[in-house]
Structure 1
Amino acid sequence: MLRIVTFLRAAMSEAQTCLLFFPGTTLNLLKFPIINPTCDRIFRRQERLKEEAAKTEDQLSSEEKKYLNHLKKQGYLVGRVGRTFQRQKSSPVVDFDPDMLSYSIDEDPRHSPRKHEEREEFTHNEVKDARWCFDTPGIVKENCVLNLLTEKEVKLVLPTHAIIPRTFILKPGMVLFLAALGRVDYLQGEKPAWFSVVASNLLPVHIATLSNADAIYEKHAGQELLKVPMGGEERMKEFPPLVPQDITLEGIGTTEAVADIKLSSAGWVAVTAHAEEKLLLRAYTPKGTALVVREPPLLPYISTIKGARIAGTAAYRTKKPPSLVENLKTTGRQ
């Protein structure tokens, strides 16, 4: 039985099971079918996963059970990989093979290689209605921030469970730090704007002012406040400095992001601003890594996934994104 972490809210098929793995370890092309997620399929799939999780839980150590309970609170489940929807098998057909009837005294037919291996295929309708997910072997990117990090730091940067967006409202003259791996300065603008961070929840986000941002980085990079990189002054001596890139954006409304600022592989910041509001930003990533402005943004309405404003701060309370199943119930779609 394989122990994996399965995202329960997957409204797709088992093919979208979420595995915990290290980057760059895919050795060959993988192809997964994604079956149309009808309400009936979603219900039957979740029932099977619950049954498998119960069987698996009996075999876990106390430490693993503790970790499992932690995952359950976030909508995850531990279980065996398998299929909920199996093809109906037809009546067996006798396949006569004369070569299998003749063997020497030294041969054992029980260990002879079979010519016709059984293989489960998808039905015509399953293939016709399915979509396919391809996972290809990765390549080493020279401008990726992960290349600069230790194994311990990589574990903090790569998400191990569902990402919950963190939204902040910044006025001109304020700065957002994503650990010590990225920084976004709000230089010019007439009104406050919203900055939604999509990154591992283990990476801290710190808000500062332009007047003290450099001092904060010098003092806390490598320390607990900014967390990654870790290792103090000695670690930062070998870590490349942050380099800036100026960005100009124009807002399109208070509920829709205008662009994503992608801070290499550390994550991205979606920027939402008032319609026709012109913003001058300055973003930083470590020297030698890629900083990309993505227009249109990947998740344009991400700033709406937030709780109430935390009094006295620039932060909003985090809010778990609604699942696809909940959205279908709300909208009445089938």
Structure 2
Amino acid sequence: MIWKWMPLINMMFYVGREASKLWKKIFMETYVELQLLAEKWKFLLAGLVFQYIHGLAARGVHYLHRPGPVLHDLGFAILPELGVQRAYLSETLFSVIFFSFLLWSFHPFVCHGKRFYTVLLWLRVLACLVICQTLRILTFYSTILPGPNYHCREGSPLAILPHPDSIFEVLLLNFPRGVLYGCGDLIFSSHMIFTLVFVRTYYKYGSNRFIKMLAWLMVILQSLLIVAARKHYSVDVVVAWYTVNLVVFFVDTKLPEMPDRSVGSQQILPLSSKEKESKAKEENHKLLNGDAADRRQRTQSSGKHMENGNHHVHSEAAMNGV
């Protein structure tokens, strides 16, 4: 009778053993990431706070927005309009890209094929987002265009925000309704900022070639859906394409490259500032000692060479009868 339960018992032992390994890996990865977080938390917090500042700026420009006739747009003339009923397709695709990247960025806690540290990855991502969003704020406050979205057109009660009753109405962003139904923050597209930064980051640090190709196809489809849903003008998408790519290139040249964890070395963890200073002092100490030893060795070898040379001269003089 016990033989019938043997496969189930073996499977339970296997699951228990693998679960123990998984929890051990999660614990070790969390310990390593917390060390990095203790050093970089100020930069990460600043990047997260700026996301709120960006939302606050988008909320502010909505108070300045005035509806008007939708501008002539080449993308509007080429792409068929999705309409209000199908405008959700753009947001759905963006949500898939956003949450897929979010889950992938934490996969080193579970998977063995770890190529990066999550803290350092998000440090680079937030640096790109902050620069792009700063440029975006400066741009859409410079020239406020009539929004092409359905709720931003003339006749819509959401096109113009009434004067706020209190400062908290502005600071709280009327979340989430105020975020979903914003107007005036057009050039350039915030959806394209996140999409391009995420896809370019995966293209650099991801490992699956098929997913990389699929991600770029999703970026192109996202660009078309944004215009087809009339959420942005075509110029908003075009400007995002070259601005975000230039910003990512700039950040890659300025920030030090992340260590590649796929080589299998455990000493790849970036050192803290104190560890870097102590390591530099140790290397300088070794270098100075090494130079002194080399100097002594060269002196000793030179002395031996001079002795051999003098001995050779005296020998020749004796042979010549000098």
User: What TM-score range do you get, normalising by the shorter chain?
Assistant: under 0.3
Larger relative contact order (CA 8 Å, sep ≥ 6)? 2
Higher share in helix:
2
Give the TM-score normalised by the residue count of structure 2.
Answer: 0.23
TM-score norm. by structure 1 comes to 0.23
Write 1 or 2 for the structure with the bigger share of strand.
1
